[in-house]
Amino acid sequence: RVGWVNQATGQVGFTPIAGATRAVALDGQSLHRQSDWLLNLSFDYDRSLRGDWIGYARGDLRYESKQFGDIIAQSFWGSRKLVGARLGVRNERYDVSLWGENLLDDTTVMIQGF
C-alpha cells in the first residue's frame, strides 16, 4: 500500500499497489540520503604582514559515509570527501583571496532518477 495525505483535510489514506504481495520491513535501516558518519574539520591561520595587512589561510575537509538513495536501501552511493582552501590578505578596507572548493575533484553522484 502507498500512504497519502489530503492536504486540504489532513485525511490519511492508503492505496493498494497492484501485484504487491508483501510489505518491506524497514526497521534497522539507515535513513535514505543520510550518512551514518559525518566529519567536518577546518583550520584557520592569521599572520600580521607589513603595515595593517594580515595574511590568512583556511582549509576545510568534509567526509560523508555512504548514503542510501531510496527508503528501502536498495541503491546507494559511496562515501565522499570534499576539500576546500582559501589564501588571502586583508586590511580594514580590502580583502583579496584565492580559493578553491572540491580540490580532490569528487564526482560522487548525489541525485538519481528512474
pLDDT digits (tens, 9 = 90+) for 4-61: 666 677 776 666 656 555 555 566 666 777 888 999 999 999 999 999 999 999 999 9
For 75-108, b where at least 16 C-beta lie within 10 A, e where not — what string? eebeebebbbeeeeebeeeeeeeeeeeeeeeeee
pLDDT tens track for 61-91: 999 998 877 666 667 788 889 999 999 999 9
pTM exceeds cut of 0.85: no
pLDDT recorded at residue 66: 86
Distance CA 38, CA 21 (A): 37
C-alpha cell of residue 12: 490519511
Which positions ≥6 away from 64 have C-beta within 8 Å? 35, 37, 38, 79, 80
Predicted local distance difference test score (pLDDT) of residue 20: 56
